[in-house]
Structure 1
Amino acid sequence: MTNDIKTGFDSEPSLNIHSEWLANFVDVYQQLSTNNLHLLRTIYHNNINFKDPMHELHGFSELSKYFGGLYQNVSSCQFRINHVIEKQTEAAIYWQMVYQHKHLNSGKKITVSGSSQLKSFDNKVIYHRDYIDLGEMLYQRLPVIGRLITWIKNRAANA
């Protein structure tokens, strides 16, 4: 099966995805919002292992609670899948996330790049690990800490 998935962004890359589980994953993530978090059940295995820089979760129940909390303070969130490397039951996805959080960056949009390592079992994602720069995503957006982190980064770049 080959799917050309289109994203919700202006310049939309065409992705050549061969696996049904991966096409479903990309499709759900590109439409995910607070109103349709129930769609996570269609792409994640009940025994999902999920890891990002802040959390490690086991089982769909934990993952569902986590996403519910994440999306509670988010005004908007869109994913753009830029590139996919796929081999049978595994994939690496390179993406860009644009989100608005009412307590970060004065409520303005924040753009962050990241990647995800995925593994499937029974046509659903059973392992999901996100790689993302938390400084870029979160810490630099906080009022006091953000200025300090920016100052440290600038000092390190000029050292």
Structure 2
Amino acid sequence: MTPSLRSAGPAPDVVGRLQALFQELRADNLALLDGVYATGVTFEDPLHRVEGLAELKAYFGRLYAAVESIRFDFDTVIAGPGEAMLTWTMRMRHGRLRSGEELALPGATHIRFAERVHYHRDYFDAGALLYERLPVLGTVIRAIRRRV
């Protein structure tokens, strides 16, 4: 799917580089992060906050270690001077989540940048990613969600 773009002008090059990065990123090519992220980047998601490019590489190294396949389908990009919001659906197979069954998780990313991204925050439902996929806890969480 081709993402739609809403901005006063074309999306900054850094947004395109970020999108391309997440189509290629794997545990064995984390050096690709160097071309997109600033050395002092702050990265946040519902599970962690990391400071610095070295910590970001370590974090992604742990995340991608058991990933069998992953891709991001970008939907909407809203870009302005020095920042952008992107919506996406992550499609992933992970050996420790549902026996490698493909998971589809919608989310959004807010970035701030100059030449490189210096702030990156992901928004997604951590329960849908992890907790609902655990054998006992997942059953309990799904039951609670049905009642609410």
The reply to whether TM is greater than 0.5 is: yes
2:15 matched to which residue of 1? 22
Paired residues for 1:1-159 under 5 Å: 12-16=1-5, 17-121=10-114, 123-156=115-148
Q: Which has the higher contact order (CA 8 A, sep 6+)?
A: 2
**1:15, distance to aligned residue in structure 2 (A):** 4.4
TM-score with structure 2 setting the length: 0.93
Residue type at the aligned position of 1:130: D
| Aligned length, in residue pairs | 144
The 2-side partners of 1:55 and 1:73 are apart by 18
User: Amino acid of the residue matched to residue 20 of structure 1?
Assistant: D
Identity %: 35
The one-letter code matched in structure 1 to 2:138 is G
Backbone CA RMSD of aligned residues: 1.2
1: CA distance, partners of 2:107 / 2:3: 18
Q: Name the amino acid aligned to 2:129.
A: M
Offset from partner CA, 1:82-111 (integer Å, 9 cap, x none): 110000110000000011111111210100
Deviation beyond 3 Å, 4+ runs, structure 1: 14-17
**TM-score, L = length of structure 1:** 0.86
> Runs of 5+ in structure 2 lacking a partner?
none
**Structure 1: gaps of 5 or more residues:** 1-11
